[in-house]
Amino acid sequence: MVTNLKKQMDIFLDTIDLEIINEYFEIGILAGVTTNPTLAKRFNMKDDIEMIKEVRSVMKEGEIHVEAFGDNVEEIVNNAHRILDKSQDENLVFKIPFSKSGVKSVNNLKKHNLKTNLHLIFSINQALIASSIETNYICP
């Protein structure tokens, strides 16, 4: 008999197709979804808040990774707080593109106990930097 099994992997879908999300959520294997503005437009969702609410309507629990936009640290951080405040969803992960402003934003958001996903990682050096600041997720 095997005991003390640890979960080795989380499964995330990179879609906001509600039928697909619902299918995998009902199976019980879905840890969350990653989203982006292109997907929202493709599925006729007017903005990130509507997108979060629509996804949450079929995925009752699990993380929703959502972009925190901005050209500088202040804009990125303010956008993350806007999304959190307007969506009232406590299980969000803020996707932030890798850049100097992105790294600073991750450090700022961590101080507020918000989860981050530093994405658009294209090199090992970028991944090492992302790891060193302890972002919750690193995505290529």
| Contact assessment for residue 73 and residue 105, using Cβ atoms and an 8 Å cutoff | yes
Dihedral Cα 98, 138, 50, 60, nearest 10 deg: -170
User: Is 95 in the active site?
Assistant: yes
Q: Is the dihedral of CA 104, 107, 109, 114 positive or negative?
A: positive
Q: Which two tokens mark 18?
A: 């509600």
User: Which class for 107: exposed (0-12), middle (13-18), buried (19 or more C-beta within 10 A)?
Assistant: middle
Which of the following is catalytic: 53, 95, 100, 111?
95
* Gap between the Cα atoms of 95 and 15, Å rounded: 14
Catalytic residues: 95
